Homo-oligomer: A and B are copies of this chain.
């Protein structure tokens, strides 16, 4: 594997490798949501949520549109959904085997 691909892939992975960010992606899988609703769903503080959204927007994972005072975020990179499905499968399998 070439170094550039490794760097770039690591970058994408880091961009989602955070509990709050994963939960945000999970929420947005169904439909776009505004920041306030995401904050409410997660029970996290507004500033933190906004920061995590921004991180993912910068990496091209999310995109957003403003509608009046609200900003709606959506998943821009549908591929991350597949990636995360693999991760969750893995984690669930691991949990089962530990019983």
User: Residues on A close to B: CB < 8 A?
Assistant: 1, 3, 5-10, 12-14, 16-23, 26, 60, 77, 79-80, 82-84, 86-94
In the complex, A16→B6 CA distance in Å? 11
Complexed CA–CA distance, A20 and B1 (Å): 11
Residue ID in chain B nearest A89 by CB atoms:
B79
Question: What 4 additional pairs, Cβ within 8 angstroms, besides A6-B19, A60-B94?
Answer: A14-B14, A79-B90, A83-B87, A86-B86
Q: Contact between B86 and A83 (Cβ–Cβ < 8 Å)? A: yes
Task: Knowing A77-B90, A86-B86, A90-B77 are in contact, say whether A17-B22 is a contact too (CB < 8 A).
Answer: no
- CA A90 to CA B92, docked complex, whole Å: 23
With a cutoff of 8 Å between Cβ atoms, the chain B residues found around residue A86 in the complex are 79, 82-83, 86
Report the minimum CB–CB distance from A63 to chain B (whole Å). Answer: 14
Q: Which residues of B contact A80 (CB under 8 A)?
A: 90
